[in-house]
Amino acid sequence: MGFNKTVHQWENAAESFAADQERSEYADCNKAVVRDRFKLLHGEAVLDLGCGYGYYTEYFRSIGGKVVGVDGAESMIRIAKNRYPSCSFSIVDILEPLPFAESSFDILFCNQVLMDIERIEALLRECHRILKTGGIFYFSIVHPAFYHGKWQVDEKGCKYAKAISLYRSEFTLQNHFWGETAHFHRPISHYLNAAADAGFALKHTDEPKCYDGVMKNADLPLFFFAEYKKP
């Protein structure tokens, strides 16, 4: 599936996605992890790569960053500009060479994007190019070890486990949360190796608790976060 088709899907999903993220407990979990990691900036240049409707662009601006938000979906950028007029947003095809000079940014932030694009290797090389030496590359994805699994439900209605039949294989599936959008499954090793091959050094990973432990098993992670540094 080409990027243009993927972007077209997100064009159609933009309104539903933006509305859902404002009321989703799982989006709140994601936001809490980011807020805990990035509490205060002092004018650092930040690129919000795949910014969607602009929430995190505005967050980084609010804590002192000089932020640019980019996304391939024009409808997402339109929503972002309407919601956060103080921020800078641009339409950018992130699978093409990024329109920024070498060593332009102190922080590259890529939230819940990489699993929604078909190829990540060239993008990660571009991220390395535009990040300053010593800069931070920070991304999150849905956790590939569990995302595709089917919940197992006990007699009390608790979703206590997930049945996993595919993990190491790479494949594409269609989500239908906000309209049809493509999801490109690849194991965590693919992401870690691609970032290392691009020249990044891993600093930290996180698999935060997102489920309540009552209706869903809190020991199964929904998200995977990774922070890298450009040596």
Give the position of tokens 């965590």.
Answer: 188
Distances in Å between the Cα of 67 and the Cα atoms of 48, 49, 210 are 7, 10, 28
Mean pLDDT in residue range 79-89: 97
Confidence of residue 6 (pLDDT cuts 50, 70, 90): confident
Q: Which of 68-77, 106-115, 172-181, 199-208 has the lowest mean pLDDT?
A: 172-181
Is residue 129 within 8 A of residue 107, CB to CB? The reply is no
Mean pLDDT of the chain: 93
Whether pLDDT at 3 is above 60: no
Tell me how long the chain is.
231
pLDDT value for 23: 74
Q: Report which secondary-structure segment, H or E, holds 195.
A: helix 188-197
Tell me the per-residue pLDDT of 113-132, one tens digit each, with 9 for 90 and over. 999 999 999 999 999 999 99
Mean pLDDT in residue range 13-27: 79
pLDDT value for 86: 96
Confidence of residue 16 (pLDDT cuts 50, 70, 90): confident
Give the position of tokens 């922080």.
Answer: 107
Whether pLDDT at 1 is above 70: no
Tell me the per-residue pLDDT of 132-141, one tens digit each, with 9 for 90 and over. 999 999 999 9
pLDDT value for 17: 80
Task: Set out the domains of the chain in order of their start, with CATH numbers.
Answer: 3-229 (3.40.50.150)
Whether pLDDT at 212 is above 90: yes
Compute φ and ψ for 150, nearest 5 degrees: -100, 125
Q: What is the percent of the chain with per-residue pLDDT over 70, rounded to a whole number?
A: 98
pTM, to two decimals: 0.93
Question: 119: how many CB neighbours lie within 10 A of its CB?
Answer: 11
Mean pLDDT in residue range 33-55: 97
pLDDT value for 92: 96
- Bridge partners of 92? none
Whether pLDDT at 2 is above 50: no
pLDDT value for 192: 98
